[in-house]
A = this chain, B = another copy of it.
Amino acid sequence: MLLLTLNQGDGVPLYLQLVSQIKALIATGRLIPDEELPAVRVLALQLVLNPNTVVRAYRELEMAGLVYKRRGAGTYVSAGVTPYTNDECRKLLAQRADALLVEGRNLGYPVEHLIVLLRERSAMLKGGASDDKERD
């Protein structure tokens, strides 16, 4: 079962959250070529979403060439695709980094503190218990 985590309230469109998380799973090989994605209805049930939202996410992925559909069968990961260019990666990460920096600045934390925090959280996430997302 796919480990996807949606954040309903933060303003980021749900289908985009899906797209980016699935992209990342493909980019890191956790979803391998020709692996089948969950059926739309199954994923919708699992994530408590409207199926159309999943449909839209899959459609975006298909248009990006990252997955392909076989009528009556399912949705599968494409082979040999690079979901992100290096530039895209950097942009995505820069956005996250900026969010951290801005929050830090507004709360009065210098960058060095943020870096310390980052190392701490990194150790925690790797170590195990986290109130947040996935692990490997």
Within 8 Å CB of A107, what residues of B?
Answer: 24, 27-28, 84, 89, 92-93
The majority secondary structure among interface residues of chain A is: helix
B118 touches A101 (CB 8 A): yes
Within 8 Å CB of A134, what residues of B?
Answer: 87, 90-91, 94, 102
Q: What's the Cα separation between A34 and B91 when bound, in Å?
A: 36
B7 touches A103 (CB 8 A): no
Q: How many copies of this chain does one complex carry?
A: 4
Count residues of chain A with CB under 8 A from any CB of chain B.
55
| A114 close to chain B: CB less than 8 A | yes
B105 touches A118 (CB 8 A): no
B97 touches A118 (CB 8 A): yes
Within 8 A of B (CB), among A97-116: 97-109, 111, 114-115
A98 touches B11 (CB 8 A): no
Q: How far is the CB of A112 from chain B (nearest CB, A)?
A: 9
What are the 3 closest A-B residue pairs judged by CB atoms, nearest first? Answer: A24-B106, A11-B12, A96-B100
